[in-house]
C-alpha cells in the first residue's frame, strides 16, 4: 500500500537509524508502536523515531529536522519544550512524583478549566481522553437511568468499547462492533448516525427518545480530517437532547483550548451538559478531564454513586504541565496569531493545489485544518471516505522528504502551534506547491 514511487525517493542513508529502531520495535511491540496512529498505516512505509522537539521543530534519531504539524496529535499548542512548562514539570518532580492524595495543584487546574470552559461547573481529572469519554458516558447513563448512546460516524472518542462501533450496512442507526473483542452486547446500546444530519438525528429521537441517555459528538471534527458542524446540526443537537431528556456530551479532547481558550463551545456558542477534555489540558503529559453542570457531576463517587477512580489521576507532574500550559494560553492568548498563521497556511495550500490542478478542498477551524483530496466539501464520513488517499500519501511522503511532518493520514487534522513562524508556513507552502505539481504530472 502507499506510494512506492514517492517513499522510494527518501534517501535511505538519512533514515538508517529509524529503520533499524523500527525493525527492533516490531519484535517488541505489536506493529512496533504503542498507538496505531503513529505507524504510518494510512500512507504506507515506516515511521520515524524522534529524539527531541524544540518549538515548531522535531529532530529524528538520524539528525533530520522537521517542521511539525502533528504536535503530538494536539497537545503541543505552545510548541515543543516550552521553557515555562519544562520548568513547572521539573520543579514538581523535585517535590515528589505521586502521592495518591489531594494536592493544591489539582484545585488550581480544576479552577483554570472551570473558569475557561463556559458549561463546566465541576470537573474530574483523569489520565487520558479515553478515560474522560468513558467516564462521561457512564455518568450520563447513571444520571438518566437510560442505556442508549448516539455517536456519529467519523467522530473518534478514544478506544472506549461501546464507542468502537461502525454504522451497520442496512439500518443507518444499528451499531456493529468495528474491532474484534468488542462484543455485540456492548455495542447494542450505541446508535451511529451521520454527522451534520439534523433530520437523521430527529428521526432517531422520534423512534428511540425515551431510551437515549446521551449524544456524544466532536464539536469540530478532527478525526475524519477537519470537519466543521453546521449551525442547524448544532441547534438540533441541543434542542433534541433537551426535548427528550438526554444529555449532550461535547467531546472537546481535541478542540478544548485549541480552537479557542474556552474550546469549541465558546467559539460556536454551544452549551453542552458534559464536556470531555484531554490533550492540551495536560500540556504534553497524560491528563484528561470531564466536567459539566454541578448537579450532574455530583452523581460521581464519592459525592454520588457513579463509580470512577484513578491511582494516578491528578498526578503532580501532569497537573503542573497542564497548569503551566493553560496559564500561558490564558495570559498570552496566542489565538489571534494562530488564526493568522493558520489562515496563511490554508490559503497557501489551497492556492498550491489549485495551481497544480488537483481536485481538493481545504477545511479549517482555527489552528486545525485538512487539505482533502476531494473536490466536494467534506461534511460527513461518507464524503471524507471518498477522498483520494493515494494522492494523499504521495503528498505526505513528498513533504516528509522536504522536512515537513504532516499527519500520516488523510483523516487526521493538522495543527499549527504558537511556536510556528510565518517563515515556517511559507516554507511549507512552497514545498507543498512543488510536491502537488509533481503529483499532478504523474
Ligand atoms: C484524542 C481524542 C480522544 C482520545 O484521547 P486519548 O488521550 O488518546 O485517549 C477522544 N476524543 C477526541 C475528540 C480525541 O481527539
Mean pLDDT of the chain: 94
pLDDT at 174: 58
Mutate-to-test residue for ligand 1 from 279, 310, 407, highest number of ligand atoms within 8 A of CB:
279
How many other CB atoms are there within 10 angstroms of residue 179's CB atom?
11
Catalytic residue among 156, 261, 395, 405: 156
- Give the distance (Å) from ligand 1 centre to CA of residue 355: 35
pLDDT at 265: 98
Are the beta carbons of 268 and 219 closer than 8 angstroms? yes
pLDDT at 170: 41
pLDDT at 168: 57
pLDDT at 12: 64
Instruction: Tell me the residue ranges of DSSP E strands in 299-380.
Output: 361-365, 368-372
Instruction: Tell me the residue ranges of DSSP E strands in 175-296.
Output: 175-177, 190-193, 212-217, 247-251, 274-277, 288-292
5 has a pLDDT exceeding 80? no
Residue 73 CA to residue 375 CA, distance in Å, equals 26
What single DSSP character describes residue 98? Answer: -
pLDDT at 402: 94
pLDDT at 171: 41
1: confidence class by pLDDT, cuts 50, 70, 90:
very low
Pairing of strands 274-277, 247-251: parallel
- Residue 281 has φ and ψ, to the nearest 5°, of -65, -15
Q: With pLDDT > 70 as the criterion, what percentage of the chain qualifies?
A: 95
DSSP lists the bridge partners of residue 256 as: 260
2 has a pLDDT exceeding 90? no
179: confidence class by pLDDT, cuts 50, 70, 90:
confident
177: confidence class by pLDDT, cuts 50, 70, 90:
confident
Q: With pLDDT > 90 as the criterion, what percentage of the chain qualifies?
A: 90
Are the beta carbons of 316 and 98 closer than 8 angstroms? yes
Mean pLDDT of 82-101: 98
Residue 88 CA to residue 126 CA, distance in Å, equals 20
Residue 200 CA to residue 198 CA, distance in Å, equals 5
User: Which of ligand 1's atoms lies nearest the C-alpha of 222?
Assistant: 15
Cell of 31: 506493529
- Spatial CA neighbour of 218 closest among 190, 271, 243, 255: 255
Instruction: Tell me the residue ranges of DSSP E strands in 194-272.
Output: 212-217, 247-251
Residue 348 CA to residue 365 CA, distance in Å, equals 15
Mean pLDDT of 145-151: 97
63 has a pLDDT exceeding 90? yes
pLDDT at 365: 98
172: confidence class by pLDDT, cuts 50, 70, 90:
very low
pLDDT tens digits for range 123-138: 999 999 999 999 999 9
**Location of C-alpha cell 470552559:** 117
- Give the distance (Å) from ligand 1 centre to CA of residue 390: 26
What single DSSP character describes residue 256? Answer: B
Catalytic residue among 189, 195, 261, 279: 279
Instruction: Tell me the residue ranges of DSSP E strands in 241-331.
Output: 247-251, 274-277, 288-292
- Give the distance (Å) from ligand 1 centre to CA of residue 278: 7
Residue 245 CA to residue 268 CA, distance in Å, equals 23
pLDDT at 178: 82
CB burial class (10 A; 0-12, 13-18, 19+) of residue 91? exposed
User: Which of ligand 1's atoms lies nearest the C-alpha of 252?
Assistant: 13
pLDDT at 442: 81
pLDDT tens digits for range 426-436: 999 999 999 99
Cell of 243: 426535548
pLDDT tens digits for range 277-312: 999 999 999 999 999 999 999 999 999 999 999 999
- Give the distance (Å) from ligand 1 centre to CA of residue 8: 33
Q: Which domains does the chain have, with CATH numbers?
A: 12-68+334-441 (3.90.1150.10), 83-332 (3.40.640.10)
Query: Quick one: the chain helix, strand, coil %, rounded to 5?
Result: 45, 15, 40
As for ligand 1, residues whose beta carbon falls within 6 Å of it are 128-130, 133, 156-158, 218, 222-223, 251, 253-254, 278, 288
User: Which of ligand 1's atoms lies nearest the C-alpha of 278?
Assistant: 7
Cell of 314: 491528578
162 has a pLDDT exceeding 70? yes
211 has a pLDDT exceeding 80? yes
pLDDT tens digits for range 388-406: 999 999 999 999 999 999 9
Q: Is 156 a catalytic residue?
A: yes
The DSSP element (H or E) to which 439 belongs, if any, is helix 422-441
10: confidence class by pLDDT, cuts 50, 70, 90:
low
- Spatial CA neighbour of 421 closest among 352, 342, 330: 342
Mean pLDDT of 240-248: 98
41: confidence class by pLDDT, cuts 50, 70, 90:
confident
Q: What is the 3-state secondary structure (H, E, C) of 215-230?
A: EEECCCECECECECCC
Q: Is 251 a catalytic residue?
A: yes
pLDDT tens digits for range 318-377: 999 999 999 999 999 999 999 999 999 999 999 999 999 999 999 999 999 999 999 999
**Location of C-alpha cell 441517555:** 213
Residue 307 CA to residue 124 CA, distance in Å, equals 12
Amino acid at each position: 500500500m502507499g506510494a512506492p514511487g514517492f517513499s522510494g525517493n527518501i534517501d535511505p542513508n538519512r533514515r538508517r537509524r529509524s529503520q533499524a529502531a523500527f525493525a527492533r520495535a516490531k519484535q517488541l511491540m505489536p506493529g512496533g508502536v504503542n498507538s496505531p496512529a503513529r505507524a504510518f498505516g494510512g500512507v504506507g512505509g515506516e515511521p520515524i523515531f524522534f529524539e527531541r522537539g524544540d518549538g515548531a521543530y522535531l529532530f529524528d534519531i538520524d539528525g533530520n529536522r522537521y517542521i511539525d504539524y502533528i504536535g503530538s496529535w494536539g497537545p503541543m499548542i505552545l510548541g515543543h519544550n516550552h521553557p515555562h512548562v519544562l520548568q513547572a514539570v521539573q520543579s514538581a518532580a523535585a517535590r515528589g512524583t505521586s502521592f495518591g492524595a489531594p494536592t493544591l495543584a489539582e484545585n488550581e487546574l480544576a479552577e483554570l478549566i472551570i473558569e475557561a470552559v463556559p458549561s463546566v461547573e465541576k470537573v474530574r481529572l483523569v489520565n487520558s481522553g479515553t478515560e474522560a469519554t468513558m467516564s462521561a458516558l457512564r455518568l450520563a447513563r447513571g444520571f438518566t437511568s437510560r442505556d442508549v448512546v448516539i455517536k456519529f460516524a467519523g467522530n473518534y472518542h478514544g478506544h472506549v468499547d461501546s464507542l468502537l462501533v461502525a454504522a451497520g450496512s442496512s439500518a443507518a442507526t444499528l451499531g456493529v462492533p468495528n474491532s474484534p473483542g468488542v462484543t455485540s452486547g456492548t455495542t447494542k446500546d450505541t446508535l451511529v448516525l451521520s454527522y451534520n444530519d439534523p433530520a437523521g438525528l430527529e428521526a432517531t429521537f422520534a423512534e428511540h427518545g425515551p431510551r437515549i441517555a446521551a449524544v456524544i459528538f466532536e464539536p469540530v471534527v478532527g478525526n475524519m480530517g477537519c470537519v466543521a458542524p453546521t449551525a442547524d446540526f448544532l441547534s438540533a443537537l441541543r434542542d433534541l437532547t433537551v426535548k427528550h431528556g438526554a444529555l449532550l456530551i461535547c467531546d472537546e479532547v481535541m478542540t478544548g483550548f485549541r480552537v479557542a481558550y474556552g474550546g469549541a463551545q465558546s467559539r460556536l456558542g454551544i452549551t453542552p451538559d458534559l464536556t470531555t477534555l484531554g490533550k492540551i489540558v495536560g500540556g504534553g503529559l497524560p491528563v484528561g478531564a470531564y466536567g459539566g453542570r454541578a448537579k450532574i457531576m455530583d452523581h460521581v463517587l464519592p459525592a454520588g454513586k457513579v463509580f470512577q477512580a484513578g491511582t494516578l489521576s491528578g498526578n503532580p507532574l501532569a497537573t503542573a504541565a497542564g497548569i503551566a500550559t493553560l496559564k500561558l494560553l490564558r495570559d498570552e492568548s496566542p489565538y489571534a496569531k494562530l488564526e493568522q498563521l493558520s489562515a496563511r497556511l490554508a490559503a497557501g495550500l489551497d492556492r498550491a493545489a489549485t495551481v497544480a490542478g488537483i481536485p481538493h478542498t481545504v477545511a479549517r477551524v482555527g489552528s486545525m485544518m485538512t487539505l482533502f483530496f476531494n473536490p466536494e466539501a467534506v461534511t460527513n464520513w461518507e464524503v471524507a471516505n471518498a477522498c483520494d488517499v493515494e494522492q494523499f500519501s504521495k503528498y505526505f511522503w513528498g513533504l516528509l522528504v522536504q522536512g515537513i511532518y504532516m499527519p500520516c493520514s488523510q483523516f487526521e487534522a493538522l495543527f499549527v502551534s504558537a511556536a510556528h513562524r510565518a517563515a515556517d508556513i511559507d516554507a511549507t507552502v512552497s514545498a507543498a506547491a512543488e510536491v502537488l505539481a509533481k503529483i499532478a504530472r504523474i
